[in-house]
Structure 1
Amino acid sequence: MKKIQYLAVVSIASLFAFTSCSSDDNTDTQKPVVDLVAPKEGSKLEAGKDIHFDMLVSDNEGLGSYNVDIHNNFDGHGHSGDNHTHAIKAVVETKPFAYNNTWDLGGVKNDQIHHHEIVIAADATPGKYHFAVKVLDKAGNQTMVFRNIEIVPSGEGDGGDHDHDHDHDHDHDDHDHAH
């Protein structure tokens, strides 16, 4: 009888140990997948106009948030991976455009983000800029995408993407996930 009780206790303890270990195997380590459709690399965006922002995102477990950071590249700095470095150069007095905002994705696995919420200041200094997008999933895994863009005076831009086929007369509730 003691042998049966001992085997039962060992079996239950083993089952608990294996169950505990298996939950560690389910840790989400996959980064989100990001397809930044617009703006495209090298886009010329006009001061005083909105930016056509279009992106497809997905994650195996659930998306957390995305961040857009636009900053000047007057000093010629570069980006590699998740970091960027700045070269030291003198810059004449400017009014560089800067933008940084984060939106919640609410745990969905797939989303198409499309909006024109980002407006470049009319007096923004023309020149080279970086357009950086960081997408986080619910587990904290991140994917970053960078674009080199140029802000140009009004009337000289290419809009960032003229190949899109959709109606611009919409509000922000038209897409899969309101942003």
Structure 2
Amino acid sequence: MKTQSKILLLLMLAITAFACSETDDKDDQKPVISMSGTEVFPNNCDTLYFGEAFTFRIHFSDNQELGSFSIAMHNNFDHHSHSTEVTECVFGPVKTPVNAFTFIEDYPIPEGTKEYEVNMSVEIPLGEGTIPFDEGDYHFFISLTDKAGWSTQKGLSIKILHR
């Protein structure tokens, strides 16, 4: 009986030791997209222009390691919502797209990075061939994924116009 009790006690101690050490390095937190700071661009309700480049500036962070990010722009002519910002923007009238602009790009973040400042030029073309893109309300969507697979998103309402 004493032998069985000792074996059972040792087994319980071993299980407890292994259970505690396995979770110490586990990443269970989403990465952070920081919209604070004067240099962040674009912000909710900002205006961009067809045929021009703008500088996308933002700060990303993660408790362990960042993975990649993507940006997407698509029309919001029907005023659908997936904005993550509290600021309400003034929208143009609801309309049917004829030649709406769409942009989707993925970008890697260097290995081992916990903090990353994005400062990159993004070109918005005038149109497709000789047909100009539809101006009006658009969404600017930022998605950030860490190395463990956790992700977070920010959706902004913007306008893209012709000068």
TM bin, normalised by shorter chain, reads 0.7 to 0.9
- Structure 1 distance, partners of 2:17, 2:69, is 34
For 1:148-159, what aligned pairs fall within 5 Å after superposition? 148-154=157-163
Determine which of 58, 75, 91 is the counterpart of 2:96. Answer: 91
User: How far off is 1:103 after superposition?
Assistant: 1.2
Residue by residue, what CA displacement relative to the aligned partner does 1:78-111 show, whole Å, maximum 9, x if unpaired? 1167xxxxxxx7615x221111111122341111
For 1:21-170, what aligned pairs fall within 5 Å after superposition? 21-22=19-20, 23-24=22-23, 26-36=25-35, 37-79=40-82, 91-92=96-97, 94-105=98-109, 106-116=111-121, 118-123=122-127, 124-154=133-163
SS at match of 1:119: strand
Residue by residue, what CA displacement relative to the aligned partner does 1:48-99 show, whole Å, maximum 9, x if unpaired? 1112200101110111111111111012111167xxxxxxx7615x221111
SS at match of 1:38: coil
Question: What residue ranges of structure 2 are gaps of 5+ in the alignment?
Answer: 85-93, 128-132
Report the TM-score, using the length of structure 1 for normalisation. 0.69
- Structure 1 distance, partners of 2:124, 2:27, is 37
Q: What fraction of aligned residue pairs are identical, expressed as a percent?
A: 30
Question: After the TM superposition, which parts of structure 1 deviate over 4 Å for at least 4 consecutive aligned residues?
Answer: 3-6, 9-12
Letter in 2 for 1:65: S
C-alpha root-mean-square deviation of aligned residues, in Å?
2.4
Aligned residues: 143
